Amino acid sequence: MADEESEKTEQATDARREDFRKRGQVAQTKELASCLILLTFAAGIYALGRFFFKNIYEIFNYTYGDNLVNVIRTGDFSEALIFCATKGFILTAPVLAITGLI
């Protein structure tokens, strides 16, 4: 019986709606925000996919190719360290920039 009495039979007036808006009691859809975040993430992966693939491919070729063998033979590891650190920074910079903006 209490449920029947609490049901609304008429629409809210414009003044009442404006009052609720001023108090911040407006219905919000959390699913919409989640959907926008996922779409933005997917677009970012799509946009930066080739960039990430190219840099990871270069690191893979450097570490498993002849360049690293020459570095080990000469004993000059600073070249390998600088290359890997630079590529690592290049790969993480977009992710850090995006998370810093959010």
Asked whether residue 8 carries a pLDDT value surpassing 80, the answer given is: no
Q: What is the pTM of this model?
A: 0.54
Higher-confidence residue of 7 and 13: namely 13
Give the containing element (helix H, strand E) for 41: helix 30-64
Q: What is the pLDDT of residue 1?
A: 47
Q: Is the pLDDT of residue 89 over 90?
A: yes
Q: Tens digits of per-residue pLDDT, 58-69?
A: 999 988 888 878
pLDDT digits (tens, 9 = 90+) for 30-88: 778 888 888 988 888 888 889 999 999 999 998 888 887 888 888 888 888 899 899 99
pLDDT for the residue 101: 66
Please state the φ and ψ torsions of residue 63, each to the nearest 5 degrees. -75, -30
Q: Tell me the Ramachandran region of residue 12: left when phi exceeds 0, alpha when psi lies from -120 to 50, beta otherwise.
A: beta
Q: With contact defined as beta carbons under 8 Å apart, do 44 and 90 qualify? A: no
